Structure 1
Amino acid sequence: MTSSLSTQEQALIPAIEQWIEQHREQLIEDLASWIEIPSISRADRGVEGAPFGAECQQILERALTLAQQAGFTTENHQGYAGSVIYGNHAKDIGLIGHLDVVPPGDNWLYPPFTLTRKGEFVIGRGVADNKGPAIADLYLLKLIRDLNIPLSHNLRIVYGLAEETNMADLAWYSQHGPVPEVSIVTDGRFPVNNAQKGQITLHLAAPVSPLLANFSAGIASNSVPERASIELPDGDFSAVNERIATLSGLSAGRLTAEPLTSGLRLNAEGIAGHAAFPEGTLSAVRVLFSALLELKLVNDHDRPLITFFERFLRSPFGEQAGIAFADEESGKLTFNAGIWSGDAANNTLNITLDIRYPVLTRAEQVLAALQETVAPQGITLTSWRDVPPFYLPVDDRRIQLLQQTWNDLSGRDDKPYAMGGVTHSKVLPRAITFGPGYARTPETSPDFLPAGHGLPHGADEVVHIPSLLAALPVYVIALIRLDRWLQSQS
C-alpha cells in the first residue's frame, strides 16, 4: 500500500478485503437475478409508473426490494429512477448507475439473459454495462455500514432506466429528485473522467430502389452492427456461392449465401461493439456493401449509392463522412451508423447515426459538414438530438481528489481521461464518472471467447469478478475523502 494513504485509511484496507471475500458469492448470486430480466428501455411501451416499459419496472422493483431486504431506505421516483439511501443526514453523496441494457443482438455463444460463470468471469447482458457495477454499489453501502465507517453525508444510490437510450431517466430526476452535493457515476473506467464528448443522434433518409428499401440491419444506434443481410430475388445462388470463395477484400471469410425460393440471401458478419469505442469493431453493413461491389451484384442504378455508403463507413472517425473533428482535450470524433431500416412503401432507407464529437466542437459544425457530404446523394437529415459535451478542468478539486485516490490505491501515476462514452454525468449536476472499469490484461481477459466477443454492447458481454470487486476499496476511500472535503466547504 502506498504511503499516500493515511494511517486510518491503511488500517481499513484489510477489513474491506476480508468483507469482500465473505460477500463475493452472494453478490454473484444477486447479480444473476438481475441479469435474467431483459430490461431494455422502451419508452414506446411506457405507462404511468413505468415510463420505460414493464421490464425496466421489473428490474427497478427487484433492485429496490433487494435493498429493502438489506435494511436500506428506498424511493421509487415514479418509475423514472429509484434510490437506495444509507444514513440520516441533511445532504447526500450520490452513487449513480443504470439498470437498463442494450438489446442482446446475435451471435452469442452463451445465453444473454442467464448469468454464466466461467472461472473468475461471468457472462450476460449487463454484467459490465451496468448491472454488475450497479449491484456493486449496493454492496458498497453494505460494506460501509457493516464496517461502521463514519460519514457526515448520506450515501444515495440512484438507479436509472434509460441511460442506453436518451437519458430521460435522470434528466427527469435532476428536475424532480434530490440531487446530491456530488455524485460518482459508476459507469466508466478508472481513473477519473473529466471530459465526455458531445453526442448527436440523428436520422438520415435516402431515396433508394426496391433492393435497398427492403434492407435492414442493426439493433441500436450506439452499437456497431454485427450482422447484415440482403435478399437478391434475381440472384443465382449456385453461381454466387461459388464466387464468395474468391473474395479477397474486406468481406473475405465474412460472407455466406443461402438459397431462397426466388433468388438468394447474402449474410454478412462484422464485429460488434460500443459506438464510442470503435477500435476493433467492424460494421457488418460495410462488409455486406463491400461484397456486393466486389461480386458485382448491383445494377448501375444502385451502384453509386452503395459505393457511397461503403466509403462513408470506412472510418469510424468520420474522414469519409467529412466530419473528422478532433481536439487535444478529448481526441477524435467517432461515428456509427447503427440502425438501417428500409421503408418499401416509400422507397426510402432510414439510417440512424450516433456521433460523439469533441468537447471544443459545436454540434452545428458537425451537422453542417455532414449535410454537405450527404446532400449530393439526395440524402436528407430528417431529425436529430444533441447532448452537449461534459467537461471539467483537470485542476477541479473534485477531479483531483478522485484522481489522487485512484493513484494512492493503485500505485500508479495516471491522469484524468476524456472519452466518447456518454454517462449520466451529462444530465445530472455535479456527477463525475469514476470507474469501475479496468484495463484488460491477459489475466483479466477471457481466453475462452473468440475475437470480437466479450465487449459491452457486444455478444457474450463479460466481466472479471476480481477486477470489479477491486473497485470497492477505491470507492470507500474516495467517499471518505469526498465526505471530509464537502464538510470543509460548508
Structure 2
Amino acid sequence: MTIDFKVEVEKRKEAMMEDLFSLLRINSERDDSQADDKHPFGPGPVKALEHFLAMAERDGYKTRNIDNYAGDFEFGQGDEVLGIFAHLDVVPAGSGWDTNPYEPVIKDGKLFARGSSDDKGPTMACYYALKIIKDLGLPVSKKVRFIVGTDEESGWGDMDYYFAHNGLKDPDFGFSPDAEFPIINGEKGNITEYLHFAGDNSGAFTLLSFTGGLRENMVPESATAAFTADAALADLQEKLNAFTQEQGVTAELTEEIGVFKLTVIGKSAHGSTPEAGVNGATYLAKFLNQFAFEGAAKAYLDITGNVLHQDFAAEKLGVAYTDDKMGALSMNAGVFSFDKESDDNTIALNFRYPQGTDAQTIKAGLEKLEGITKVTLSEHEHTPHYVPVEDPLVATLLSVYEKQTGLKGHEQIIGGGTFGRLLKRGVAYGAMFPGYVNTMHQANEFAEVEDLYRAAAIYAEAIYELIK
C-alpha cells in the first residue's frame, strides 16, 4: 500500500490550522498564584488540556484527563506501545511583541503566537499525522499513546504525576515533537543551582533590590535595580549613556525621593542557548559594579556582572566541562532576586551538562565562589540521555526524514531538554527544519506555516512505519 502523506496533509490544511489557532488563543502559562487542587499549575494549562482532549473526543478518541496534570488517548492495538509526548504549557509571553501573543496571526508565511513553535504548533502537526492514519484505516500492529503535559516549561511535575497515576504500563519507545529535525537522540543533563547571598549592605551606594528573569530556562530580557547613591541623577545618567552606547543595550534611569531605579533591557532567548540572548541582569550588574557598593551587594553585583556576564561555558565560574560526544557544558543565569531586608537572596543558574560531570561536581565548584552563603540544587534534575543511532527507532525516524526531504539524516545532541528523555528509548523528532530561525522563549515567537505541514507529513509516515 502506497500512501502520499503530503497529499493527505494538503486535504487537512484548513482544519489543522483552525484547530491550532483555537489552541494558541489559550494563555497556558503556569501561574502558581492561582494554583489549587483542581489547577495544579494554574487555570491556563488546565484550559489548554481540556480543549485539546475535547478536540480528540470530537475526532473519535477515548481520552483520559489525569487530574488536570496531563492527558492521553490511545489508538491501534497490539502489545507494544509507541508513546508520543507533547506539551500544552508555554513560557511567559514577556514584552517586546509586535502582535498579541495570544491572538495568532500569519504574516509572510509565519505564524506568530506564543507556543507556535514550542510546542503547540508541532503538537498539532503530530496530532493530525495520527489522525491521517486513523482516517485512512491503515492496518497497525502496535498502539499509539498520545500524551500531553502541562508543565514541561517548569518542573515537569506533570509527567512525574502522570507516570505515577496513569495506571498503564509505560510506552516501550517514543518521541516528542518538541525540537528539530532530523532527530535529537541525545540530550545533556539539566540542573538549576542557586547561589545564596545575605542582604545587608550600606555605604555611599546601597542596593535596595535587584530583580530580573521570568524563568530559569530563559535568558532575562530585562532587570531592574533600586538603590540609593551619593551621586546626582545627571552624573549617573551621563555614565549610563556612555555604557549603553558601548554595550549596545537600552536602559532607563529615574529618581524618586532619593531612590534611583534603573532598568536595563536586553533580549530573551532559550536557556539552552544563552549566547543567543542579551542578559539584561548581567549587563545591569556590569554597569553598577563601577560604584562603591559594599557588603552583600558588592558580592552579588560582582558575581553577576564580572563572573556570570557572558560566561556561557561557565569558565569564569570554574565548572566548565566538555565531552567528546555530547559537547560542552552551558550555563544560563536565569532568575535574580535580591532584597536588602532579606538574608536569603538568590541567583538561579541553569546548567546543561554532558556526560562526565554531574550536579554535585558543579555544586562543589560553585561553593568556591567568594561572597556567597551557600549553594542549593533544584528538586528536579535530568541526567544526560542518549539513544544510539543504531536503535531501530532512530533508524526508522531518520529514514523517513531522508525519504521526504531528500536531506541526509544524522544524530544530534542538544542542551535543551524534551519529553523524549522520559523513555529509555525516547528521542525528540522535529518539528523545526535545518536552518530555521529559533524564536522559542522569545518575543515574536513564530513557526513557518509550510514547515508545520511538512512536519505533519513526516510524522504521519514515521508513526505508520513504527506501528504498521
- TM-score, scaled to structure 1: 0.87
Q: Does 1:384 align with 2:378?
A: yes
Deviation at 1:345, TM superposition (A): 2.7
Deviation at 1:248, TM superposition (A): 6.8
Deviation at 1:418, TM superposition (A): 0.3
In the alignment, the residues of structure 2 paired with residue 384 and residue 208 of structure 1 have an alpha-carbon distance, to the nearest angstrom, of 22
* Equivalent residue pairs, number: 458
- The worse-fitting range, judged by mean Cα deviation, of 192-201 and 296-305 is 296-305
User: Which of 413, 433, 453 lines up with 1:418 in the alignment?
Assistant: 413
In the alignment, the residues of structure 1 paired with residue 232 and residue 16 of structure 2 have an alpha-carbon distance, to the nearest angstrom, of 55
What are the within-5 Å matches in structure 2 for residues 159-238 of structure 1?
159-177=148-166, 178=168, 179-209=170-200, 211-234=206-229, 235-238=231-234
User: Which of 138, 145, 148 lines up with 2:127 in the alignment?
Assistant: 138
Give the counterpart letter for 2:454 in structure 1: A
In the alignment, the residues of structure 2 paired with residue 427 and residue 129 of structure 1 have an alpha-carbon distance, to the nearest angstrom, of 18
Give the counterpart letter for 1:124 in structure 2: A
User: Which of 396, 404, 411 lines up with 1:401 in the alignment?
Assistant: 396
Deviation at 1:223, TM superposition (A): 0.3
Deviation at 1:172, TM superposition (A): 2.4
State the SS of the aligned residue for 2:185: strand
Deviation at 1:436, TM superposition (A): 1.1
Q: Hey, what does 1:57 align to over in structure 2?
A: 46
What are the Cα deviations for residues 76-104 of structure 1, in whole angstroms up to 9, with x where unaligned?
Answer: 12222111333354543221100111111
Gaps of 5+ in 1: 1-7, 446-453, 485-490
Deviation at 1:421, TM superposition (A): 0.6
Give the counterpart letter for 1:473 in structure 2: A
Contact 2:207–2:227 under 8 Å retained in 1:
no
Compared CA separation, residues 21 and 291, structure 1 to 2 (3 A):
same
State the SS of the aligned residue for 2:191: strand
Q: Does 1:106 align with 2:105?
A: no
Contact 2:195–2:372 under 8 Å retained in 1:
no
Compared CA separation, residues 378 and 52, structure 1 to 2 (3 A):
closer
In the alignment, the residues of structure 1 paired with residue 376 and residue 276 of structure 2 have an alpha-carbon distance, to the nearest angstrom, of 30
What are the within-5 Å matches in structure 2 for residues 450-489 of structure 1?
455-484=439-468
What are the Cα deviations for residues 410-442 of structure 1, in whole angstroms up to 9, with x where unaligned?
Answer: 22223111011111123345322111122235x
In the alignment, the residues of structure 2 paired with residue 213 and residue 163 of structure 1 have an alpha-carbon distance, to the nearest angstrom, of 34
Q: Does 1:275 align with 2:264?
A: no
Deviation at 1:407, TM superposition (A): 2.1
Contact 2:188–2:416 under 8 Å retained in 1:
yes
User: Which of 118, 138, 162 lines up with 2:107 in the alignment?
Assistant: 118
Deviation at 1:291, TM superposition (A): 1.9
Compared CA separation, residues 145 and 248, structure 1 to 2 (3 A):
closer
Q: Hey, what does 2:348 align to over in structure 1?
A: 352
What are the Cα deviations for residues 346-373 of structure 1, in whole angstroms up to 9, with x where unaligned?
Answer: 244211221111023222222211222x
State the SS of the aligned residue for 1:279: helix
Q: Does 1:332 align with 2:328?
A: yes
Deviation at 1:117, TM superposition (A): 1.9
In the alignment, the residues of structure 2 paired with residue 61 and residue 405 of structure 1 have an alpha-carbon distance, to the nearest angstrom, of 32
Contact 2:312–2:331 under 8 Å retained in 1:
yes
State the SS of the aligned residue for 1:478: helix
| Aligned-residue RMSD, C-alpha | 2.3
Deviation at 1:390, TM superposition (A): 1.1
State the SS of the aligned residue for 1:65: helix
Q: Does 1:287 align with 2:283?
A: yes
In the alignment, the residues of structure 2 paired with residue 250 and residue 432 of structure 1 have an alpha-carbon distance, to the nearest angstrom, of 43
- The worse-fitting range, judged by mean Cα deviation, of 297-306 and 23-32 is 297-306
Compared CA separation, residues 58 and 134, structure 1 to 2 (3 A):
same
Q: Percent identity?
A: 27
Give the counterpart letter for 1:12 in structure 2: I
Give the counterpart letter for 1:138 in structure 2: Y
Contact 1:324–1:333 under 8 Å retained in 2:
yes
In the alignment, the residues of structure 2 paired with residue 213 and residue 382 of structure 1 have an alpha-carbon distance, to the nearest angstrom, of 24
What are the Cα deviations for residues 252-307 of structure 1, in whole angstroms up to 9, with x where unaligned?
Answer: 442232343434322211121111122321210111112223xx344355445423
Gaps of 5+ in 2: none
Give the counterpart letter for 1:109 in structure 2: D
Deviation at 1:227, TM superposition (A): 0.6
State the SS of the aligned residue for 2:217: coil
Compared CA separation, residues 172 and 478, structure 1 to 2 (3 A):
same
Contact 1:171–1:428 under 8 Å retained in 2:
no
Give the counterpart letter for 2:126 in structure 1: D
In the alignment, the residues of structure 1 paired with residue 372 and residue 160 of structure 2 have an alpha-carbon distance, to the nearest angstrom, of 35
State the SS of the aligned residue for 1:338: strand
Deviation at 1:120, TM superposition (A): 1.1
In the alignment, the residues of structure 1 paired with residue 184 and residue 159 of structure 2 have an alpha-carbon distance, to the nearest angstrom, of 19
Contact 1:236–1:264 under 8 Å retained in 2:
no
In the alignment, the residues of structure 1 paired with residue 275 and residue 349 of structure 2 have an alpha-carbon distance, to the nearest angstrom, of 17
Compared CA separation, residues 212 and 420, structure 1 to 2 (3 A):
farther
In the alignment, the residues of structure 1 paired with residue 349 and residue 217 of structure 2 have an alpha-carbon distance, to the nearest angstrom, of 8
In the alignment, the residues of structure 2 paired with residue 383 and residue 255 of structure 1 have an alpha-carbon distance, to the nearest angstrom, of 32
- TM-score, scaled to structure 2: 0.91
State the SS of the aligned residue for 1:264: strand
In the alignment, the residues of structure 2 paired with residue 334 and residue 201 of structure 1 have an alpha-carbon distance, to the nearest angstrom, of 12
